[in-house]
Chain A
Amino acid sequence: MSGPGRSARLVELVGSTRLGEVFRRKVRQRRWGVTLVTLCVAAIGLWLFSDISGSTGWSPVKVLELVVFSVLFTTLAFGFTQAFVGFLVLAEGHEPLKITNTLDENTPLASTAVVMPIFNEDVATVFGNIRTLYRSLQKRGELETFEFYILSDSTQPEKLVEEELAWADLCRQTNGFGRIHYRRRKVPVNRKSGNIADFCRRWGHRHRYMVVLDADSIMTGESVASLVRLMEVNPRAGIIQTMPKLVGSETVFGRIQQFASRLYSPLFAAGLNYWQQGAGNYWGHNAILRMSPFLTSCTLPVLPGREPLGGRILSHDFVEAALMRDAGWEVWFAYDLEGSYEGLPPNLTEYIKRDRRWAQGNLQHVWFLLADRVQPISRLHLIQGILAYSSAPILVLFVCLAGIQAALDHFRGHASSIPLPSAIVLALLTLLLLFGPKLLSVLHLFAQPDLLRRFGGAKRAIAGVAMETFFSVLTAPLLVWFHTRFVLRNLSGQKVVWNTQTRGGGSGPRWIETLREYWPVPVAGVICGILAWWISPMYLLWITPLLLGLWLAIPIAQISGRSAVLRRLFQTPEEIEPPRELSKAEPFQLRTGDQFVHAILDPFYNAIHVALQRRRAVRAPELNEHPEDLANKLFEGGPTALTAEEKRALLSDGPTLAKLHILVWRTPAEKMNPFWAEALRAYRNEPPVTVQT
């Protein structure tokens, strides 16, 4: 039976017991296949390594080295196998077992909440992205069943005011009052997962599904509607995760990541879906969740012990997927569903900062490996998440053990007795596992001339791959350095601070900041180099690829944040031919300047903010002053007279703020703080508002 015929047959058979059996057998075969290939590749590597190590006799250092090597090499082999399987799936051109085969455009839509939790984010980007999705659904005539929730945990007084006006502006522009909602939590308990849980508690029963977006997520109306339809025709699906494409980067680092992800991830994604099927994972955004099992089964437990490794769960997504699976629901990966995008950190420093949060979150998942009622595939996902960061200290341990062994061999005169053929084959095998997926991705790209053109053509694509490979070789040791630090810090009880993630272009890091952040890295690299030279010049040569990234850490970090460099390289289809939703994702036009001052002076900011404060605020116990006193202090001393906490307290008191607005406007310039007189002049000849429709 041909490909489309097979998928039609699959749809036809949904629900029949026979299909269930066939499906389960097929999935079992696939999982065994991937496991066997992984283990075979890993076994070859282990055999070669033990041949090399054992040639001069065994020692405790060597045994430990072999154990560590087996963990690292098996991880590498698994990644390669997944990419290889993905390559075969994509080369064949048809995958009968993927959830998007069941998509039927005639399926009616159901009530869906689109939620976007935010925390001191760039307001124009957040509301611009929501507007893009809103209009996209509107254009398709499919808006009726959707409601939008912007769930703010923002704490900066300026952001609170800006978000409120942006919400009102968005509703006014789109006629979205009653459909686009904005809620701010005064106390951001349990961060993003707490924010979502709070939404579920308040409005969980209003909707059948929930599409979760990140602040930098952009989804098209078509993709969101398709997710709802997929949920409707797959009643056992609890979560469907899409594969967001990285877009919108302007910096060298961002564009390299964007290019690499766009080129290499389709193979990994197809391979991942091949073996995981309905036992997939959830990445926290650009996904749809079924409300009822999410409410009953996915509430996060509190872990034993305290943070960083215990307490409240930081990375909730993997755990929620595991809980959903445990409750008997399927978690699918719609890897080929178009129209799902996200942004990424603009430079290496911001990327590393994000990794610091994720590292702690993923390390907490160790508890779930030891918990009752976690499905084996969910445990595997959790292990992969943990290894994403803990493999760095394991690699460092391996290099240290190799260094110790090299020193011992050198001083005993055993260095020259290493079996060269095994060493060469192992080196080639390792290179194949590391770079094979890139090579397969390039082969896959060259098999699709239209896609190749949208990557800028053959020459640029090849040059891009070469440069990206060079860059990743340089940055990998840096990431190993930082990941090792994060893991060790977490193990020693230090926890991370929840900072706002810098997204989008941004201005690159300053030299002084880069020096302050990175100076230990080249110093450690030089010390390691001297030690390696002392052991043996050959050993230094062997670990030079690792040390090179450490030596050049500061310039790499600097260059990573530059824009307008290598613009003709790293082009992606979304950059060359942006989809309509991306090209129209223009930012929101909001008033520039101090948003807190606008809350006092701007008649609309003030009115909307005051209108949204329903009750008179209860005075914060830690504040000694009443809102009226704070208003007087602000009037007399200007905005610098108040702390951020005092500003928040004043903002929560609508009537006082409304009085202050009138007071400032009716007071002659000579009778008030010069700041206000100057600020009022900014409103002169205010241009008429232009509303996009």
Chain B
Amino acid sequence: MAISPEYLGLLRASINSSPEWKQAWERTNDYLDALRIPADLERELLLLSSFERAIARKRKEPSTPATELAFDEAQKALDATLADLISEKVPADRRSVEERVRVYLMQPTQSSVLSPGNRLSNDVLAALREVRLEAVPRLQQAAITPRPFALNSAGERLASLAGKFSLLGSNRILAWIVGLCLVGLLIYISL
């Protein structure tokens, strides 16, 4: 990219002079910060070229907010820079997600993402294109059946006895009355 330093300086000055474009600049920068892309010359160039296109678009679409235009153009620039990392088969609406996954996986060596002079090897690029984030392995299903629960004969008798007293368990007042009567009876016969 051959852009003169004077032109870049002028572009920066014009962005800073307009509150709307300044806000757009801050927002786009914040996003690249969130992506942990280092603040180096590559990033600066990516931003300025995006803003150049956004400013041009603004002339044709005056009602569209500058932040929206700048963000879209920055996203397009990122898409173009990271295109090598993603398979062509990935649908357009999914590309941004897949890009971010790859940037995440490449950290902390993300400087190579935007640096043409520090490109990844073909093997790594091929591997990155094939990446599919899978949290679980392929299913190898097994059938497990609960063992039927069988009481022994004493258990059967006890369970049926407990069933007869279930009213006591469900009615607290009745349980207290019966309990106190039993205690009273116990004391009485112990006297």
Tell me whether B27 is interfacial, beta carbon within 8 Å.
yes
Interface flag for A510 (CB, 8 Å): no
Are the CB atoms of B155 and A370 closer together than 8 Å? yes
Residues on B with C-beta less than 8 A from A462 are none
Contacts of A665 in B (CB 8 A): 27, 31, 71
Contacts known (A301-B146, A371-B155, A666-B71); A404 close to B141, Cβ less than 8 A? no
Contact yes or no, A61 B187, CB < 8 A:
yes
* Chain A: CB-nearest residue to B157: A370
Max chain A Cβ within 10 angstroms of own Cβ: one of B30, B71, B145:
B30
> Nearest chain-A residue to B187 (Cβ)?
A404
Q: Mark B9-44, 1 if CB is under 8 A from A, else 0.
A: 000000000001001101101110111101000000
B89 to chain A: closest CB distance in Å?
Answer: 15
Minimum CB–CB distance from B120 to chain A (whole Å) comes to: 16
How far is A178 from B133 in the complex, measured between Cα atoms in Å? 9
Verify B107–A607 contact, CB threshold 8 A.
no
Q: Is A533 an interface position by the 8 A CB rule?
A: no
Tell me if B80 counts as interface (CB < 8 A to partner A).
no
B29, B71, B97: most-surrounded residue (chain A CB, <10 A): B97
Judged by a CB distance under 8 angstroms, whether B61 is at the interface is no
Number of A-B residue pairs with CB-CB distance less than 8 Å in the complex they form: 192
Q: Are A301's CB and B149's CB within 8 A? A: yes
Select the stretch in A44-52, A203-211, A342-350 that faces chain B: A203-211
One of A6-14, A598-606, A627-635 contacting the partner: A598-606
- Nearest CB of chain B from residue A182's CB, rounded to whole Å: 4
At the interface, yes or no: A413 with Cβ under 8 Å from chain B? no
B 159-172 to A, binary, CB cutoff 8 A, 1 in contact else 0: 10000000001101
Q: Give, as a whole number of angstroms, the nearest-CB distance from A170 to chain B.
A: 11
B190 within 8 A of partner (CB): yes
- Find B190's partner among A182, A302, A373, A408 (CB 8 Å cutoff): A408
Interface string of A287-306 (1 = CB under 8 A from B): 00000000111011111100
Tell me if A172 counts as interface (CB < 8 A to partner B). Answer: yes
Q: Is the CB of A611 within 8 A of B186?
A: no
The answer to whether A172 and B107 have CB atoms under 8 Å apart is yes
Asked whether, in the complex, the Cβ of A181 is within 8 Å of the Cβ of B135, the reply is yes
Within 8 A of B (CB), among A295-329: 295-297, 299-304, 323
Residue pair A404, B36 in contact (C-beta under 8 Å): no
- A492 B104 Cβ-Cβ under 8 A: no
Q: Which residues of B contact A491 (CB under 8 A)?
A: 169
Nearest CB of A to B26, in Å: 8
Residue A576 CB within 8 A of the other chain? no
Residue of B nearest to A169 (CB): B104
Given A168-B104, A492-B172, A608-B101, A683–B135 Cβ distance below 8 Å?
A: no
Query: What residue of chain B has the Cβ atom nearest to residue A690's Cβ?
Result: B108
Q: Are A493 and B72 in contact (CB under 8 A)?
A: no
Do the beta carbons of A372 and B151 come within 8 Å of each other?
Answer: yes
User: Quick one: CB contact mask for B134-164 with A, threshold 8 Å, 1 for yes?
Assistant: 1111011111111111111011101100000
Flag the segment in A194-202, A277-285, A431-439, A469-477 that touches B. Answer: A194-202
- Contact (A606, B151) CB under 8 Å given A181-B137, A202-B141: no
Q: Is there contact, CB below 8 Å, between A367 and B149?
A: yes
Cross-chain contact of A611 among B34, B97, B146 (Cβ < 8 A): B97
Partner of A172 from B30, B105, B151 at Cβ < 8 Å: B105
Is the CB of B100 closer than 8 A to any CB of chain A?
A: yes
Q: Is B100 a contact partner of A606 (Cβ separation < 8 A)?
A: yes
A683 near B33 with CB under 8 A, answer yes
Chain A residues closer than 8 Å to B101, beta-carbon distance: 607-608, 611
**Does B93 touch A at the CB level, under 8 Å?**
yes
CA distance A610 to B94 in the complex (A): 9
List of B residues within 8 angstroms of A685 by Cβ: 33
Chain A CB within 8 A of B2 CB: no
Q: Hey, which chain A residues are within 8 Å of B34, CB to CB?
A: 601-603, 683, 686
Asked whether A680 is an interface residue with its Cβ less than 8 Å from the other chain, the reply is yes
Specify the chain A residue showing the minimal Cβ separation from B65: A668
Q: Are A612's CB and B170's CB within 8 A? A: no
Which residues of A, 52-99, contact B by the 8 Å Cβ criterion? Answer: 59-62, 64
Contact indicator B135/A205 (Cβ below 8 Å): no
The contact string, 1 if C-beta is below 8 Å from chain B, for chain A 336-376, is 00000000000000000000000000000001011111000
Query: Do A299 and B187 form a contact, CB below 8 Å, given A172-B105, A666-B67, A689-B36?
Result: no
Chain B CB within 8 A of A145 CB: no
User: Within the complex, what minimum Cβ distance (angstroms) separates A613 from chain B?
Assistant: 10
Contact of B136 with A299 in the complex, beta carbons under 8 Å:
no
The reply to whether B187 and A204 form a contact with Cβ atoms under 8 Å apart is no
* A441 shortest CB reach to chain B, Å: 39
Cross-chain contact of B140 among A59, A178, A205 (Cβ < 8 A): A205
Q: Which residues of B contact A612 (CB under 8 A)?
A: 133, 135
A669: Cβ under 8 A from any B Cβ: yes
Contact of B187 among A203, A371, A408, A606 (CB under 8 A): A408
- Report Cα–Cα, A654/B94, bound state, in Å: 10
For B103, list chain A residues within 8 Å (CB). 603-604
Cβ-closest chain B residue relative to A205:
B140
Please give me the residue from chain A that is nearest to B28 by CB atom.
Answer: A665
Whole-angstrom distance between the Cβ of A297 and the nearest chain B Cβ: 7
Complex interface: chain A residues within 8 A of B142 (CB): 200-201, 204-205, 295
- Give the complex CA separation of A299 and B152 in angstroms: 20
Chain A nearest CB, measured from B3 CB (Å): 25
Choice from A147, A493, A607 contacting B97 with Cβ under 8 Å? A607
Query: Are B137's CB and A604's CB within 8 A?
Result: no
A688 at the interface (CB under 8 A from B): yes
B1 sits at the interface (CB 8 A): no
Residue pair A61, B190 in contact (C-beta under 8 Å): yes
Cβ of B96 within 8 Å of any chain A Cβ, yes or no, is yes
Residue among A59, A603, A610 with most chain B CB within 10 A: A603
Q: Complex: how many Å from CA A604 to CA B166?
A: 56
- Report how far A183 CA is from B94 CA in the complex, Å: 22
- A646 to B13: give the CA distance in the assembly, Å: 45
Cα of A664 to Cα of B68 in the assembled complex, Å: 10
Q: Which of B27, B65, B105, B146 has the most CB of A within 10 A?
A: B27
Q: B65-84: which have CB < 8 Å to A?
A: 65-68, 71-72, 75
Task: Say if the beta carbon of A681 comes within 8 Å of chain B.
Answer: yes
Q: Is the CB of A297 within 8 A of B100?
A: no
Q: Could you tell me the distance between the alpha carbons of A630 and B85 in the complex, rounded to whole angstroms? A: 33
Q: Is the CB of B38 within 8 A of A688?
A: yes
| Contact present for A370 and B154 (CB under 8 Å) | yes
Across-interface contacts of B137 in A (CB, < 8 A): 147, 178, 181, 203, 206
Residue numbers in B under 8 Å from A525 (CB-CB): none
CA distance A300 to B145 in the complex (A): 9
Contacts of A610 in B (CB 8 A): 97
The 8 Å CB contact of B36, one of A202, A204, A608, A686, is A686
| A596 on interface, CB distance cutoff 8 Å | no
Q: Is the CB of A300 within 8 A of B146?
A: yes
Q: B170 near A371 (CB under 8 angstroms)?
A: no
Closest to A686 in B: B33
Interface residue A658 (Cβ < 8 Å from any Cβ of B): yes
Is A248 interfacial (CB 8 A cutoff)? no
The 4 closest A-B CB pairs, nearest first, are A370-B155, A607-B100, A301-B149, A59-B190
Interface residues of A (CB under 8 A from B): 59-62, 64, 147, 164, 167-168, 172, 177-178, 181-183, 197, 200-206, 295-297, 299-304, 323, 367, 369-373, 400, 404-405, 408, 491-493, 601-604, 606-608, 610-612, 654-655, 658, 662, 665-669, 671, 680-681, 683-686, 688-691
9 interchain pairs (CB within 8 A)?
A172-B104, A178-B137, A202-B139, A203-B137, A370-B152, A408-B190, A607-B97, A668-B27, A680-B27
Q: Which residues of B contact A (CB under 8 A)?
A: 20, 23-24, 26-27, 29-31, 33-36, 38, 65-68, 71-72, 75, 93-94, 96-101, 103-105, 107-108, 133-137, 139-152, 154-156, 158-159, 169-170, 172, 175, 183, 186-187, 189-191
Instruction: Please give 10 more A-B residue pairs, beta carbons under 8 A apart, in addition to A202-B136, A205-B142, A668-B68.
Output: A201-B141, A201-B143, A299-B145, A367-B155, A371-B155, A404-B187, A603-B31, A666-B71, A688-B108, A689-B36
